[in-house]
Structure 1
Amino acid sequence: QMHGLGLKTWVKRAFYTGFIITVVLTYTLLREPYQANEVIRIPFIEYGVIFFMYGIYLLGAKLAGRSERLKEQTA
């Protein structure tokens, strides 16, 4: 989301470097290195839940639209 801010290249690289350093330090000093897959796994799970909920919303909207059309046809 920082890409829309118009940041300079060196600032973006500083963010990337800070993120990588934080991940490496966290998963070598505080946690086990094999748990580093959380960095990728958790966002995938979150996006999956978001798409699933959006699908439920679209299904509900579609069903509601059908019921409205049926009411109009019978009236």
Structure 2
Amino acid sequence: MCSERKESMFFPAIGGRDNDVDALIMLLSAEHRTVAANVAALYEDGGDAAILEERLDALGMLLKTHGRREERHLF
């Protein structure tokens, strides 16, 4: 499920019932914005290979952590 669909349909459907779930929704939404910003920044420095590698590693770790959080705590 893409982040836009989750944020526009799924999150509102499950939100507002439990404070812990609401906090998780806020965290996951923030992570979606961070992922989008990191993807947009991948080539900001003209494609420098070392910087690109660092950014890809950081993005990979963020996606791994985010995916696990969604799977373990939301679904």
TM-score range relative to shorter protein: 0.3 to 0.5
TM (norm. structure 1) is 0.37
Larger proportion of helix = 1
Higher relative contact order by CA 8 Å / sep ≥ 6: 1 or 2?
2
TM (norm. structure 2) is 0.37
